[in-house]
Amino acid sequence: MPWASMTRGSSQPDDHAAPPRDLTDMIDFSPLGSTDRSPLRLITVTATGPVRFSDEERRKRAGEAVAFMAQGFGFTNPGGHLPPA
């Protein structure tokens, strides 16, 4: 089955003078609530589906994937896009 993956991360600068930054310092996650995960330096999610999505299905699946990722990384308000359990 085809899949798509989204990863966001931070890495240590080449000079190693400063530690890697937390993603919450670089990305506005406020719509997802807060998280108890710290440091948060890497988040990822993979979604599977048919070869071709309609625009509506693509938006729906992307929203579900982001909500699932947010829930998995401890965010308190992943949104109404979670698929049924």
Domain residue ranges in the chain: 3-72
Contacts 24+ apart (CB under 8 A), 1-6: 1/48, 1/49, 1/50, 2/48, 2/49, 2/50, 2/51, 3/46, 3/47, 3/48, 3/49, 4/46, 4/47, 5/44, 5/45, 5/46, 5/47, 6/44, 6/45, 6/46, 6/65, 6/66, 6/69
pTM, 2 dp: 0.72
pLDDT: which is higher, 5 or 12: 5
The pLDDT of residue 83 is 57
Q: Is the pLDDT of residue 57 over 60?
A: yes
Average pLDDT across the chain, whole number: 81
Q: Is the pLDDT of residue 22 over 70?
A: yes
